[in-house]
Amino acid sequence: MRFTGTLITAFAMSSLALAGGHEKPVGITSSLMEQEVMHQGQPVVIKRNQDGDNTITPDYALTSRPCPPFCIQPMDLAPGVETIGELELLSMMEKINFGELDGLLIDSRTPDWAEKGMIPGAINLPWTTLSVKKSDMFTISDIFESTFGAIPMDGMWDYSNAKTLILYCNGAWCGQSPTNIRTLLTLGYPAHKIKWYRGGMQSWQSFGLTVVKP
């Protein structure tokens, strides 16, 4: 796994730790302190909050949201769709930065949630925009062609050069990205070109990782 985000030396990490009031730094892994990604054309550094007393945002502190609709999602959402964690997501984002992966990170949440903070590098594509019931086929077709890179072909789609889509929402209890993924599969998008970050914003923020405003 290759990361080009700053790999900070032990001396530099110790300095950061002292500056943040810690005995030890809070790295992403033992060898990775931070990683740079592009967000809306600007570089953003992803790292963990260095405050040892930092706590999760109240929006993600609730443990007992009513089900339905906030039901726990399965680990394997659909055949062929890979479920990934934070390090796999960072690795894919790195490959996207270097052009090694023609991919797109998608925040499937409604704009009111996205306004509270997104994963750097993501675009907000609400689940309602891709919903056959809540959107329309003209809008969906435009997204498939202009955003995903699918090619219309006699009422069908050629996905040969379509992007790999990495989707997330609020967490394992959130149905917004699963709904998007099921819609994509129904419309013929290849399962192997769909990845799901199941932990979403709740998991991302529980690790104190960087968020950005849309």
Mean pLDDT, range 1-8, rounded to an integer = 42
Average pLDDT, the chain: 90
Do the beta carbons of residue 104 and residue 165 sit within 8 Å?
yes
97, pLDDT greater than 70: yes
Nearest CA among 97, 99, 123 for reference residue 38: 97
Q: How confident is the model at residue 154 (pLDDT cuts 50, 70, 90)?
A: confident
Q: What is the pLDDT of residue 105?
A: 98
Cα 157 from chain centroid (whole Å): 25
pLDDT of amino acid 214: 82
pLDDT tens sequence across 56-69: 999 999 999 999 99
Domains of the chain and CATH, by start: 39-206 (3.40.250.10)
d(CA 203, CA 174): 12
Distances (CA, A) of 65 to 61, 109, 172: 10, 17, 12
User: What is the pLDDT confidence band of residue 101, given thresholds at 50, 70 and 90?
Assistant: very high
CA dihedral angle for residue 90, residue 96, residue 31, residue 117, rounded to 10 degrees:
-40
The secondary structure of residue 42, as a DSSP letter, is E
pLDDT value, residue 47: 97
* Neighbouring C-beta atoms of residue 93, cutoff 10 Å: 25
pLDDT tier at 16 (50, 70, 90 boundaries)?
A: very low
pLDDT at 9: 40
Summarize the confidence of residues 13-28 as an average pLDDT: 63
Within 8 A by CB and 6+ apart from 129, the residues are 135, 139, 140, 143
Low-confidence winner among 4-8, 39-43, 199-203 (lowest mean pLDDT):
4-8
The answer for residues whose C-beta is within 8 angstroms of residue 200's C-beta and 6 or more apart is 168, 169, 170, 171, 172, 174, 177
Per-residue model confidence (pLDDT) at position 24: 84
In the predicted structure, residue 11 carries a pLDDT above the cut 60: no
What is the token pair recorded at 89?
């997501």
